[in-house]
Amino acid sequence: MAQGCMAGKGADAEPGAAASHMARCVGRISAIFLLISIAACSGVRDGAGTRTSIELPGRWDPITSADADLTLAKTLPIDAASFHRRTDIPQQIEDYYSYDGSEGIRGYVVTMRIPDGALSEDIMLEMRQARLFDALIRDQPEATQYQLQIGTISFFRRDHPHTVGHYATAPSGNGQQQCFFARIGKLLVEDNKDGSYPGAIDTLVKAVLCGRRVDEGSLVAALNTMDVAQR
In a domain, 5, yes or no: no
pLDDT of residue 158: 77
In a domain, 3, yes or no: no
pLDDT of residue 162: 93
Residues whose CB is less than 8 angstroms from the CB of residue 114 and which lie 6 or more positions away in sequence, other chains included: 23, 24, 27, 91, 92, 192, 202, 203
Q: Which residues of 7-29 are buried (b: 16+ CB within 10 A; e: fewer)?
A: ebeeeeeeeeebebbebbbbbbe
In a domain, 78, yes or no: yes
In a domain, 230, yes or no: no
In a domain, 170, yes or no: yes
Q: What is the pTM of this model?
A: 0.79
In a domain, 166, yes or no: yes
In a domain, 8, yes or no: no
For residue 190, the enclosing domain spans 15-224
Q: Which residues of 181-190 are buried (b: 16+ CB within 10 A; e: fewer)?
A: bbbbbbbbbe
Residues whose CB is less than 8 angstroms from the CB of residue 44 and which lie 6 or more positions away in sequence, other chains included: 51, 52, 53, 54, 55
- List, in sequence order, every beta strand (DSSP E) within the chain: 43-45, 51-54, 60-63, 82-86, 93-100, 105-113, 154-155, 163-171, 178-186, 203-211
In a domain, 126, yes or no: yes
Q: What is the mean pLDDT of each run of 10 residues along the chain (231 residues)?
A: 31 35 39 40 36 66 97 95 92 94 92 93 93 93 91 89 95 91 95 87 95 94 96 76
pLDDT of residue 231: 76
pLDDT of residue 55: 64
Number of domains the chain is built from: 1
pLDDT of residue 218: 96
